[in-house]
């Protein structure tokens, strides 16, 4: 995996990063595997490809999130893994596909955890949260995607309570 490149991403002040979760969240090893759904629209990532390729590795526990990139496959496609740094709980995987003409890339689809402490994260909510975290930590623009407030992360409207089995 590729780690944080300060020449590409720049310095992030931990005080500028909102608290996106509780420090006493349990560390669980038996997490259900992520579910995958195709995104409604491909996100153009051509302008943000360098930032996505750089990823972000936390320098302290205050950052709370790592955005780690797998090495490209034979076609130049990559996956960006978004996870909580202290528990290594993976929340999202963005699948980034190179254009055939070599002129950039698109985020083709997203994989995310289907059960978050008894709540189901809907597709639109998963996309919003992934975009917010990429904008916050990687300074991605995603010009074709609306601006979302950081309060949209873990917004109750984006989750549905799962029925107990």
CA-based nearest residue to 125, from 135, 137, 112: 112
Q: Give pLDDT tens digits for 115-163.
A: 777 888 888 899 999 999 999 999 998 888 889 998 888 888 888 888 8
In a domain, 19, yes or no: no
In a domain, 112, yes or no: yes
For the segment 44-50, the average pLDDT, to the nearest whole number, is 74
Residue 105 has pLDDT above 50, yes or no: yes
Q: Say what the pTM is.
A: 0.69
For the segment 34-44, the average pLDDT, to the nearest whole number, is 45
For the segment 45-62, the average pLDDT, to the nearest whole number, is 83
The pLDDT assigned to 38 comes to 39
* 62 in Cβ contact with 83 (< 8 Å): no
In a domain, 109, yes or no: yes
C-alpha–C-alpha distance, residues 66 and 156, integer Å: 24
* Residue partners of 71: CB distance under 8 A and separation at least 6: 1, 2, 78
In a domain, 133, yes or no: yes
Residue span of the structural domain in which 126 resides: 34-154
Torsion, Cα 145 149 153 157, to 10 degrees, reads -90
In a domain, 129, yes or no: yes
For the chain, how many structural domains are there in total? 1
In a domain, 8, yes or no: no
């Amino acid at each position: 995996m590729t780690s944080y490149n300060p020449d590409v991403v720049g310095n992030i002040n931990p005080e500028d990063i909102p608290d996106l979760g509780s420090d006493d969240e349990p560390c669980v090893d038996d997490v259900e595997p992520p579910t995958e759904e195709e995104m409604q629209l491909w996100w153009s990532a051509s302008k943000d490809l360098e930032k996505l390729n750089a990823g972000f590795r936390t320098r302290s526990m205050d950052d709370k999130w790592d955005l780690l990139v797998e090495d490209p496959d034979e076609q130049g496609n990559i996956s960006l893994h978004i996870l909580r740094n202290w528990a290594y709980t993976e929340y999202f995987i963005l699948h980034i596909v190179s254009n055939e003409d070599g002129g950039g890339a698109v985020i083709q689809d997203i994989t995310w955890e289907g059960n978050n402490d008894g709540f189901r994260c809907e597709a639109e909510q998963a996309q919003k949260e992934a975009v917010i975290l990429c904008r916050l930590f990687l300074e991605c623009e995603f010009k074709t995607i609306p601006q979302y407030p950081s309060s949209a992360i873990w917004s109750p409207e984006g989750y549905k309570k799962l029925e107990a089995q």
